[in-house]
Amino acid sequence: MKHSFLYFVALYFLLSCDAHKTGDTFDAPFVDGAAQQLLLDSILQYGLDREALFTILGDVKPMSSVVTLYYPVANTDSALRTSAVVVDSLRRGRYLDELQSVQYLMNKLDFPDLRFIVVPYQEAEGDRRVVQVSAVRISKLDSLLKKQEGFFGQFGLVPGADPSVVASVIENAGVYERYRGYGYLFGYPDQAVDFFVLASLELNTTGTFVERSFFNIPVHAAKGGYFVYANPAAYEPSVIDSAIYYKAADVLARYEDIRGKYLDADSALRAYKLLQDYFRKKDQ
């Protein structure tokens, strides 16, 4: 599965030094100064320019990656596995402060039928804890949990479950359950999910890599590589693939039609303001 990656470890402080918004009025009333406004807009812009667009402005995907963050707070010392103090607050505490700012902003976002969640990955990369910020369309998630209740039901996940709980349960599930759960959550068609799970099983049990082809749906930032899923090598796109492609294309066209109206002189997107106006007009 393809995820969008961005290194945000020092972003909050960099933005503090390079805030370009002035005055006391910000697009988001809950932000604490220009640095937080820029952090919020940067995260939302990264997601909107990529696959998260299809969850935030459409119902193509139940869940999408907005941005992946890395914080050097993970334990690499086996002697500390029983310790109550793993993170040295003097050396590493500032990273938790940065993460708290991200968590605060995502908690404050309030748009119809949407939740923005922050879920740490089970596996660390050395001393870096990987933290996934995702957008979830609640109605689409509930429909998925009902449609695929034969799978999600084993974890006690049913319509109405909190999106953070759903994502955390799947993140910490067994390897093949994790692959299948994320495949469904990220909006891949059933045949692509089945193929990826079985191909992974084949690789892990026999060492044989199953050849594959990739179906890409363009995003603003690139023609491929973000909303993409694997199929067998000789697979021909089906009506289901075409339906996903054209539904996503309509959402992308709508976004690109309004995006230019919210660009600052430095090409930074006033992403929160864009979403504010979009949902306000949609309700009228």
pLDDT of 159 higher than 50:
yes
CB of 40 closer than 8 Å to CB of 272: yes
3 occurs within a structural domain: no
Residue 2 lies in a domain: no
Has residue 284 got a pLDDT over 90? Answer: no
Report yes or no on 4 lying in a domain: no
Dump pLDDT digits (tens) for 162-221: 999 999 999 999 999 999 999 999 999 999 999 999 999 999 999 999 999 999 999 999
pLDDT of residue 8: 47
In the prediction, which pLDDT does 70 show? 97
**Other residues' Cβ atoms within 10 Å of the Cβ of residue 139:** 13
The pLDDT of residue 10: 44
- 272 pLDDT higher than 90: yes
Q: Is the pLDDT of residue 253 over 70?
A: yes
In a domain, 1, yes or no: no
Would you say residue 5 lies in a domain?
no
pLDDT of residue 7: 43
Query: What pLDDT score does 283 carry?
Result: 78
Give SS3 for 273: helix
pLDDT given for residue 5 in this prediction:
38
Cα 223 to Cα 185, 188, 219: the distances in Å are 22, 17, 6
Residue-wise pLDDT tens digits, 35-86 = 999 999 999 999 999 999 999 999 999 999 999 999 999 999 999 999 999 9
Tally of domains in the chain:
1
Instruction: Kindly give, in sequence order, each residue whose CB lies less than 8 Å from that of residue 271, ignoring residues fewer than 6 positions away.
Output: 40, 41, 42, 44, 45, 48, 262
φ and ψ at residue 60, rounded to 5 degrees: -70, -40
Percent of all residues in the chain with a pLDDT value above 90, rounded to a whole number? 90
Looking at the domain assignment, is residue 211 inside a domain?
Answer: yes
In a domain, 6, yes or no: no
The mean pLDDT value of the chain amounts to 92
Tell me whether residue 145 is exposed, middle or buried, using C-beta atoms within 10 angstroms of its C-beta: 0 to 12, 13 to 18, 19 or more: buried
The parent domain of residue 236 ranges over 11-283
Grade residue 24 by pLDDT with cuts at 50, 70 and 90: low
Please state the pTM of the whole predicted model.
Answer: 0.91
Q: Is the pLDDT of residue 9 over 90?
A: no
Residue 161 lies in a domain: yes
Q: What is the pLDDT of residues 105-115, one digit of tens each?
A: 999 999 999 99
The percent of residues in the chain predicted with pLDDT above 70, rounded, is 91
pLDDT of 20 higher than 90: no
Q: How confident is the model at residue 282 (pLDDT cuts 50, 70, 90)?
A: confident
Across 275-284, average pLDDT: 90
pLDDT band at 19 (very low <50, low <70, confident <90, very high): very low
The type of residue at 164 is S
* DSSP state letters, 76-90: --GGGTT-S--S-HH
